[in-house]
Amino acid sequence: MTMHLKLGWLYPTLMGTYGDRGNVICLEKRAQWRQITVEVIPLDKEAPLNVWEEVDLIVGGGAQDRQQEIVMRDLQGAKAEQLKALIEDQVPGVFTCGSPQLLGKYYEPALGQRIEGLGILDLVSKHPGFGAKRCIGNVAFEITAEPLATELKAKLGDRPIAIGFENHGGRTYLGEVQPLGKVLKGYGNNGEDGWEGAFYQKAIATYAHGPLLPKNPFLADWLLEKALERKYNTEIHLDPLDDQLARQARQTMFQRLTLSVSSSPI
Ligand code: GLN
């Protein structure tokens, strides 16, 4: 049986400033290399509600404050309720930077009014002001959120360490929601509390661009397996791929960031 996935991509033109389309490409290719077909569907102003209802997997990228404000003008009412329903119904997703800010309670941008969020994630984000230093640079963090961390450790046989690149002015503060992980290098959510991202149901929220998934293929495979398990109601273990290039790139980053970690399998 050929398996098929509908990948919903949140506002690709507005929330594509920081190269997170690479997450879409990574998921698409890693599925296709296993003979799983993927349909990439823009979830944006033009997408009718029934399209939102049918997705099996969601990707949300980053954006500048202005674009986030435009997105939130559209992401209201039935669409907002539908996105919340998808996440609550364990549809897996990866949401980067500006996206998790909008999934939270609110985002106070550098200029202008507070942007009310969807309240799906119990977090708030605040930009300290136009002239404030941005959180920019390579980031590394150990995934600690459960059950994700335990599942990844079982697969990797090692600590699940993710690497990426962050570029955000907003600082995020968590309420009653799990952090995605513990910062090893870089700023993370706010450069103060040592946490990076958030994890809720099967939604991975992170400040790590890069893009995240090609740099951490084990996360891409986790998302694909969870989406397939939910859709086909059966346990899925994807065949491993030849990730030698990704492994070499990660080792280089571990050395560059002077991270004393074992040669993580991937
Ligand atoms: N505009 C938001 C901020 O500066 C999000 C940036 C991003 O998505 N990289 O925090």
**Does any domain span residue 245?**
yes
Work out whether the CA dihedral 78, 84, 90, 93 comes out positive or negative.
positive
167 lines ligand 1 (CB under 6 A): yes
Total of domains in the chain: 1
**Does any domain span residue 266?**
no
**Does any domain span residue 174?**
yes
Nearest CA to ligand 1 atom 7: 62
Q: What would the pLDDT profile of 202-247 be if each residue is shown by its tens digit?
A: 999 999 999 999 999 999 999 999 999 999 999 999 999 999 999 9
- Here the CATH number for the domain that contains residue 118 is 3.40.50.880
**Does any domain span residue 27?**
yes
* Mean pLDDT value across the chain: 96
Q: Cβ contacts of residue 1 below 8 Å, gap of 6+?
A: none
Question: E strands within 27-134?
Answer: 37-43, 57-60, 93-96, 106-108, 115-116, 123-126
Active site residue 26: no
**Does any domain span residue 168?**
yes
Taking the C-alpha atoms of residue 1 and residue 209, their distance in angstroms, rounded to an integer, is 34
**Does any domain span residue 265?**
no
CB 68 within 8 A of CB 115: yes
169 lines ligand 1 (CB under 6 A): yes
Determine the structural domain holding residue 202 and report its residue range: 4-256
10 lines ligand 1 (CB under 6 A): no
Distance 97 CA to ligand 1 centre (A): 6
63 lines ligand 1 (CB under 6 A): yes
Q: What would the pLDDT profile of 60-70 be if each residue is shown by its tens digit?
A: 999 999 999 99
Asked whether the predicted pLDDT for residue 261 surpasses 70, the reply is no
**Does any domain span residue 220?**
yes
Active site residue 97: yes
pTM score: 0.97
171 lines ligand 1 (CB under 6 A): no
Distance 80 CA to ligand 1 centre (A): 20
* DSSP states along 19-33: STHHHHHHHHHHHHT
Distance 167 CA to ligand 1 centre (A): 7
**Does any domain span residue 164?**
yes
Q: What would the pLDDT profile of 102-123 be if each residue is shown by its tens digit?
A: 999 999 999 999 999 999 999 9
